[in-house]
Structure 1
Amino acid sequence: MRPTVRRVDPRLQIMTEAIEGLIPGATPAFLTVEVTETLPGTGERRNTWTGRPDGLAERMFTALYGRPDAAEQLSPLARAEDAKRRRDLGGELSALIEGHTDLTSAPWYPARPGDLIHVHYEGAGESAAFGETYIIDAASHGFLTMRLLCHTLPDPDEASGMVGCFAVEDDPDPLMELWFEAGPHTLTIIRDGRPVHIGGAR
């Protein structure tokens, strides 16, 4: 069974967490932010804005990047399946072609031995959010293997049916299935200790 894959834009999440971190150890649900205009010399307050950390983070994000995408980000395969349900053959082909082009035109493509690939899964229903980390290794005949290094799913019974489903052996393009099914927005790819692809970043 493949886990459900959704992801919040990591830049918005980082901004929210940075604001929440202004009071170390505080419970985010109980935090508010207040911005006050104080007149010089008099100490008189004239205007005040009060809001939640996520509200302030969204204002900052919007000023820098435009409104965050409220729609759920979908993998290329999910977009193609949506178009197929609508009987939109052009949309289905476009989603698949765009997904392939996005991967193969990335400056870090193709994968290399030593690359680390982390995939993030949002929680769904009773399942907690978790992540998996894979490593690319050299295989025979110039092909590559992608094997699971670790995961963060705490329940071993649940993990046995969910983790490691994207591991492949002797594959000319080990990222293709993961890219299409999980989606680029869920992936973070590390090469030589540096991130070369950060999922969710526009």
Structure 2
Amino acid sequence: MRRPVVHRRDPRLEIITEAIERLIPGATPAFLLVTVVEQLPGTGETSVNTWSGKPEGLATKVFTALYGRPRTEEPPSPLARAEDARRALGLVGEINALTAADKALTSAPWYPARPGDLVHLHYPQAGDFPEFGETYIVGDAGDGLLSLQLLAHTLPATEDADGIVGCFASEASDQPLYELWFEAGPHLLTIVRDGRPVHAGGAR
């Protein structure tokens, strides 16, 4: 069981958005447009008062009326951004989002990872899970590959940590930070090399 990585979109907002998108069964969400028209009583004619927007725009208005403005403190991970791009622009948007995230990783001045690098992952509070962190260390797995081993975590002992912490550990990989970068997101990572932070995405 993997602890779900925090996504910027509230699940209630996603439910409302999907309900609107399903008003037309089988429609492609990226092509949907919602229009609300004021109709004059008894005439069948419409006035100039209309509202048009994407389903997510209407969903946000409904969500805000019910619960207040959606929380957007945490930016989306590259995978979440690719999912949003696919919904809005289709496969091309998804590929472009993933390509941009890959370039951001591979062009970083500290890339690639080296044995001895420390990687800290911050988990914001989500549902019943408290805020906590994990620390991994990059090791030499031989044959040009690297390992990623969990050193410590701060999930309270009262929580069931089995199967939750350490989910990004790997025995051997040519890119041990790839999954962390894409699934958790660079904004939640702090990477330390030779005692100095070389990537401070988790800094406030």
TM-score (norm 1): 0.64
Structure 1 equivalent of residue 6 of structure 2? 5
Structure 2 equivalent of residue 115 of structure 1? 117
The question of whether the paired residues in 1 share the 8 Å contact of 2:191 and 2:198 is answered with yes
TM-score (norm 2): 0.64
Q: What is the CA–CA distance in structure 2 between the aligned matches of 1:163 and 1:201, rounded to whole Å?
A: 21
Q: What is the CA–CA distance in structure 1 between the aligned matches of 2:155 and 2:73, rounded to whole Å?
A: 26
Where does the alignment leave 5 or more consecutive residues of structure 2 unmatched?
Answer: 9-71
**Ranges of 4+ aligned residues in structure 1 off by more than 3 Å:** none
Alignment of 1:124-135 (within 5 A): 124-135=126-137
In 2 relative to 1, CA 71–89 (structure 1 residues): closer, same or farther, beyond 3 Å? farther
Report the Cα offset of residue 83 of structure 1: 2.0
Structure 2 equivalent of residue 142 of structure 1? 144
Aligned-CA RMSD value: 2.2
Report the Cα offset of residue 90 of structure 1: 2.3
In 2 relative to 1, CA 156–165 (structure 1 residues): closer, same or farther, beyond 3 Å? farther
Matched residues, number: 141
The question of whether the paired residues in 2 share the 8 Å contact of 1:6 and 1:121 is answered with no
Report the AA paired with residue 127 of structure 1. F
In 2 relative to 1, CA 183–86 (structure 1 residues): closer, same or farther, beyond 3 Å? same
In 2 relative to 1, CA 6–121 (structure 1 residues): closer, same or farther, beyond 3 Å? farther
Q: Secondary structure at the match of 1:111?
A: coil
The question of whether the paired residues in 1 share the 8 Å contact of 2:147 and 2:176 is answered with yes
The question of whether the paired residues in 1 share the 8 Å contact of 2:122 and 2:202 is answered with no
The question of whether the paired residues in 1 share the 8 Å contact of 2:121 and 2:190 is answered with yes
Structure 2 equivalent of residue 166 of structure 1? 168
Where does the alignment leave 5 or more consecutive residues of structure 1 unmatched?
Answer: 8-69
The question of whether the paired residues in 1 share the 8 Å contact of 2:86 and 2:92 is answered with no
Q: Secondary structure at the match of 1:165?
A: coil
